[in-house]
Amino acid sequence: MFIVFVGPPGVGKGTQCRLLAQKLDLLHLSTGEVLRQAIQDENELGKKAAQYIDDGRLVPDDIMVKLIDEQAIGRKHGCLLDGFPRTLVQAEALDQLLRKRQQELLIVVQLLADREEVLSRLSARARIESRSDDSPATIERRLEIFDRQTAPIVEFYRNCGLLAEINGIGKPEEVHVRVLDRVREAIDLAGKR
């Protein structure tokens, strides 16, 4: 079972994936963590990705697809994909990779929050974690990129009947209840196919 989480930076995808991974005993694969690990390992893909991340730009589709294919696709029990796909090209590549391995996407969870909430969360995270991709200029650039490049996948997954829009505002436990309800509905529906 593969579950995708989409939403702007700071909406809580990572938090919700961690909670759901514990509940369903699935691997949580955060593309941010995968990228940071590749950069730390100083492998070829990591070095290329670092240049984009430092500028607040999305890592090119071909690099992301290779990293995800290496880490997630082919896992017998699936995983939670946090931050992938971010573009229509990546969404289509994920679909092809899953089909090739006779696996399928169960649900796409879109966490929703207004821009002010997201900016507040990212600013707080930057103070606590000192992440280079959470500087004020980079935050604004990441949100602009999300609006422009990631939004089309929402329509793609809506048209596929996989999209579940969930309010991401509230305490993490409250949001988790909403997420878990929708995921359980998707599991029930998949069992009836």
27 burial class (0-12, 13-18, 19+ CB within 10 angstroms)? Answer: middle
Establish if 60 belongs to a structural domain. no
- Which CATH number fits the domain that encloses residue 10? 3.40.50.300
Establish if 173 belongs to a structural domain. yes
Counted domains in the chain: 1
Establish if 45 belongs to a structural domain. no
Position of tokens 């929708």?
Answer: 182
Establish if 63 belongs to a structural domain. no
Establish if 155 belongs to a structural domain. yes
State the Cα–Cα distance between residues 163 and 107, nearest whole angstrom.
Answer: 6
Would you state the structure tokens that stand for residue 124, as one six-digit string?
């707080």
Establish if 41 belongs to a structural domain. no
Q: What is the pTM of this model?
A: 0.85
Establish if 12 belongs to a structural domain. yes
Per-residue confidence in pLDDT tens, the chain, 193 aa: 899 999 988 899 999 999 999 999 999 998 878 888 888 988 888 889 888 888 878 789 999 888 888 777 666 678 999 989 988 999 999 999 899 888 889 999 999 999 888 888 887 777 777 665 667 788 888 888 888 888 899 999 999 999 999 999 999 999 999 999 999 999 999 888 6
Establish if 64 belongs to a structural domain. no
Closest of 2, 41, 38 to residue 21, by C-alpha: 2
